[in-house]
Amino acid sequence: MLLLVGGLALLSLFQFCLIESLYQQLRSQKIKSVLTQISAAIEQDGVQAVESLVSSEEIELRIVDRDGQDLIEQNSCDNSLLSYDQQQLRTLYEQERLLQGAVWEQITSYQTFYPKSTGGNEVTNCRFLTCADLATLDSGEKILVLARAQLTPSDLTIQVIREQMIAFFITILLLTAAVLIFLRHRRRRKIQLLADTADQLAQGGEDLSFDTNLSAELKPLSHSLNRLLGYYSKQKKFSNEMFANLSHDLRSPLSMMIGYAEMMRDLPGEATEENMQVILDEAQRLSMLVNDILDLSKRNSTHPELHLQAYCLTDQLMSIVGNFQKMTQRQGCSIQLETDCRVWVKADELEISRVIYNLVNNAIAHTGEEKEIVVKQLIRNHKVCVRVMDNGEGIDEESLSRIWDRYYRSNRAKRCAPLTGSGLGLCIVKSILQQHGATYGVESKLGEGSVFWFALDILDQEPSQTGQPKQNPSTKN
């Protein structure tokens, strides 16, 4: 809009300063156009049909034959073209005939004196344009058509045109200012609506959306804010679920610890080793929960640096499964490791151990009545696949698609031991495996148990003749 106003202003200034030159140019084009129309009218309707074309244009006209004889009556008081004598007309006729249709032009300039109201005279330079053309009558005779008109505008004409231009420019300026004020007010109102919606959101408002009926400049901002609002709503829902789950998980071990501690304090003989072990187990469970929360928070803000090294994954599986066998033997859980070779991978050994611990602990927490868990190592397409299988009640399809989401917890609840997690373990597993570039997944059917698995690239492998993994030879380190 500002560029348009600036362009109009420059155009108006240019025309205001060069009005006389522009007027003369336009007037010259008009005179030659009228002359062409007169010649065409003579050729079509005869000489007498041209007077009406001249009177309205203030153009002097003279039509003569090749001898310089006038073909229409002329008033010597009103027509300056009568100053041409017959010899001049015959010469002009021959000259025009030699031009073969090109319009002859001549500009005459002289001074006119006007008396001033304050005394003295005012000198005005006047310029006239004289044009000549040949027209052909029905008889084939060619006649000379002369036209003359003043090029220089009068002072009154210039003054009127300039006043009109000033009025036009002021009108355009006022209209532009009004439009700019309106658009600015409208844009400010739309921005204020966006700000009000953001304030309502900051105050805890729900079911909000940013207006998208905006200008082309603000519409992308509105769409981005709506996407941000959707992400915020999703995060708020996740946070509510997280706090609900964490409050439950924190309350349970704390209540157990407080209850057993009060019982040991108030009742003689209750300070037994078993009761102390219960308090210790619940404290360890609480510590596990807090550590998972801190670890997940750290991973959400920045991925920890991996310390990649070559190591034997099979030996790692044997060590972890052996530890779980010792911890769960009193609860009657059976954890078996199936592998027929030793496999080396390049990964962060500590992080992969956390993946295995979380998957096995998740299987223990959700195993069925038979309490059987199988950890199997398979070789597929130059990858080693670790599968952790339980015989629990399985996972429904809706939960299966969300099982890796952070803060999400399914309702599977048959647990064989107090080795429960925080509900954040699978999210941590997902983060670690994605950082390693590993593939992972879950297979489950209701009533048939679940299988959680992940696969890493094989660095090296060693077949086993007895079906049991061998010790890692020194050459593999």
Give the pairing type, strands 104-115 and 60-64: unpaired
How does residue 451 score in pLDDT terms, banded at 50, 70 and 90? Answer: very high
Q: Which of 270-274, 294-298, 434-438 has the lowest mean pLDDT?
A: 294-298
Percent of the chain at pLDDT exceeding 70: 77
70: pLDDT strictly greater than 80:
yes
How does residue 408 score in pLDDT terms, banded at 50, 70 and 90? Answer: low
Q: How far is CA 132 from CA 97, 143, 278, 362, in A?
A: 10, 10, 123, 108
Q: How far is CA 143 from CA 42, 69, 91, 133, 313, in A?
A: 9, 10, 13, 8, 114
Backbone φ and ψ for 114, nearest 5 degrees, come out as -120, 135
User: From CA 292, how far away is CA 287, in angstroms rounded?
Assistant: 9
Q: How far is CA 223 from CA 212, 215, 216, 237, in A?
A: 7, 12, 11, 21
- Token output for 138: 């029905």
Residues 265-269 have a mean pLDDT of 83
How does residue 122 score in pLDDT terms, banded at 50, 70 and 90? Answer: low
b/e map 206-220, b = 16+ CB within 10 Å: eeeebeeebeeebee
pLDDT of residue 455: 96
- Token output for 380: 């597929």
pTM for the structure as a whole = 0.46
User: From CA 313, how far away is CA 345, in angstroms rounded?
Assistant: 6
Query: Does residue 364 contact residue 416 with C-beta atoms inside 8 Å?
Result: yes
Structural domains of the chain sorted by starting position, each given as residue range(s) with its CATH number in brackets: 2-153 (3.30.450), 219-300 (1.10.287.130), 307-476 (3.30.565.10)
pLDDT of residue 403: 83
Residue among 346, 334, 281, 282 at smallest CA distance from 310 = 346
Q: How far is CA 312 from CA 102, 382, 437, 461, 472, in A?
A: 103, 16, 19, 9, 7
DSSP string for residues in 396-463: -HHHHTTTTSTT--------SSS----S-HHHHHHHHHHHHT-EEEEEEETTTEEEEEEEEE-SEEEE
User: From CA 368, how far away is CA 161, in angstroms rounded?
Assistant: 100
Report helix, strand or coil for 332. coil
Question: Which tens digit of pLDDT belongs to each residue from 46-68?
Answer: 877 776 655 555 788 888 888 88
User: From CA 378, how far away is CA 382, in angstroms rounded?
Assistant: 10
Percent of the chain at pLDDT exceeding 90: 13
Residues 204-210 have a mean pLDDT of 73
pLDDT higher at 328 or 242: 328
Residues 79-86 have a mean pLDDT of 82
How does residue 116 score in pLDDT terms, banded at 50, 70 and 90? Answer: low
